[in-house]
């Protein structure tokens, strides 16, 4: 079986890109012929792609490309793929021609975010709904919450759910450098380190997290934010309390910084099943997060983390305080529970097998 994973953008360091890199490696390990394809020239900072996995870029420039749909369809036909798995909402309009003219492959679309949050153009949703209802492309939800939202939006049922996965994280050769960097920010040896991981953009809602952190005036804490910094980062800088919050930009060794942290934070307006949160679970970090998208499928309030039920600074601040006041025994219990849940639910090998089983079942049902 030949499998193509196609993703918009430049394959930068986002959660969907992280999943695609890990998923394709795991599928190749199972013996399948796997290719990753992105629209634009591959970014300078991307995730490593396994040697078994092929990579192709269409080198699209920014903006609308009227020729890209034809290029994509020609690429799919030329290489004879059995499965085309699409990722991220920006892919969809460029895939319409392929859906119409490429009859051999079965098409799938992994829903990485809340469907209303990821695509707000009603006319696009109508086009997508047509192809979903005709079963020309099979949606895959990454959480039960995302499944429910998608089914309600499009009026379709029985969307398969495959949880995001990640490989077990290990410290890299750069760990000591990361450790020393974090130590240089700490006021004392007892400083608690909060960490947030994700691109600096509106969806991640970092002003909420930063303003809540600024209210921790008497606590010995710092916040480090790791993620690609766009123009929005400059406005966020104005809200930062110097000496308490640090924007570190993109890092290829995020796991090293997670191993240096005490508590993971997320303040998003909407989410799917965030890879960064799964990574935090794998190293045993307690989690403080807004209660959006698929996050309540991961976090049970007071059990393995703390959910913030509205986008209010005071509410988020209260959850940060709860996380800080855990007794050592409570912290250890949450840490061990998150490590256990990761191995049981979010290991990438299980995710890869679930995708393969779905592909095969759809191929078999249409013969």
* 215 and 331 within one domain: yes
* 200 and 107 within one domain: no
* 215 and 81 within one domain: no
- Give the DSSP H or E segment for 106: strand 106-111
Domain limits for position 240: 175-345
* 189 and 104 within one domain: no
pLDDT of 22: 95
* 352 and 244 within one domain: no
Mean pLDDT in order along the chain per 10 residues (367 residues): 95 88 96 96 85 95 91 97 94 94 96 76 87 94 89 90 92 95 94 93 89 91 88 63 83 94 95 91 96 90 93 94 92 94 92 97 85
Q: Residue 240, SS3?
A: coil
* 200 and 62 within one domain: no
CA distances from 103 to 89, 127, 159, 212 (A): 22, 19, 22, 52
pTM of the model: 0.85
* 328 and 181 within one domain: yes
Contact (Cβ atoms closer than 8 angstroms) between residue 227 and residue 199: yes
CA distance 75 to 71: 6
Q: Which residues of 1-39 are buried (b: 16+ CB within 10 A; e: fewer)?
A: eebbbbbbbbbbbbbbbbbbbbbbbbbbeeebbbbbbbb
Instruction: Return the biggest CA–CA distance within the chain.
Output: 66
CA distance 237 to 240: 5
pLDDT of 272: 84
* 217 and 115 within one domain: no
Report the DSSP beta bridge partners of residue 83.
3, 106
For residue 161, the domain's CATH number is: 3.40.50.2000
* 333 and 250 within one domain: yes
* 155 and 84 within one domain: yes
Structural domains counted in the chain: 2
* 190 and 137 within one domain: no
CA distance 294 to 273: 5
* 265 and 144 within one domain: no
């Amino acid at each position: 079986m030949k499998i193509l994973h196609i993703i918009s953008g430049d394959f930068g360091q986002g959660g969907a890109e992280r999943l695609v890199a890990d998923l394709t490696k795991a599928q190749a390990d199972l013996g399948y012929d796997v290719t990753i394809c992105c629209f634009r020239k591959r970014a300078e900072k991307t995730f490593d792609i396994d040697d078994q996995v092929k990579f192709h870029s269409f080198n699209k420039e920014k903006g609308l490309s009227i020729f890209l749909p034809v290029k994509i369809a020609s690429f799919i036909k030329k290489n004879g793929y059995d499965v085309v798995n699409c990722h991220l909402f920006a892919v969809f309009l460029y895939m319409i021609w392929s859906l119409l003219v490429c009859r051999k492959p079965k098409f799938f679309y992994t829903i990485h975010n809340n469907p209303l949050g990821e695509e707000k153009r009603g006319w696009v949703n109508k086009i997508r709904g047509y192809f979903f209802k005709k079963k020309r492309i099979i949606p895959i939800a990454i959480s039960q919450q995302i499944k429910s939202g998608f089914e309600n939006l499009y009026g379709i049922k029985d969307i398969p759910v495959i949880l995001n996965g990640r490989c077990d994280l290990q410290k890299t050769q750069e760990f000591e450098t990361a450790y020393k960097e974090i130590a240089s920010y700490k006021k004392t040896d007892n400083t608690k380190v909060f960490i947030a991981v994700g691109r600096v953009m509106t969806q991640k809602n970092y002003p909420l997290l930063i303003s809540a952190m600024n209210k921790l005036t008497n606590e010995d804490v710092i916040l480090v934010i790791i993620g690609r910094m766009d123009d929005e980062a400059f406005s966020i800088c104005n809200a930062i309390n110097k000496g308490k919050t640090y924007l570190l930009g993109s890092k290829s060794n995020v796991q090293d910084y997670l191993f240096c942290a005490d508590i993971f934070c997320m303040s998003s307006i909407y989410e799917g099943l965030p890879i960064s949160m799964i990574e935090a679970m794998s190293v045993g970090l307690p989690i403080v997060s807004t209660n959006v998208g698929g996050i309540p499928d991961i976090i049970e309030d007071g059990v393995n983390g703390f959910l913030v039920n509205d986008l209010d600074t005071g509410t988020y601040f209260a959850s940060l305080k709860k996380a800080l006041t855990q007794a050592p025994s409570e912290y250890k219990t949450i840490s061990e529970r998150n490590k256990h849940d990761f191995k049981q639910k979010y290991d990438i090998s299980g995710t890869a097998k679930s995708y393969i089983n779905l592909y095969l079942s759809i191929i078999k049902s249409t013969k």
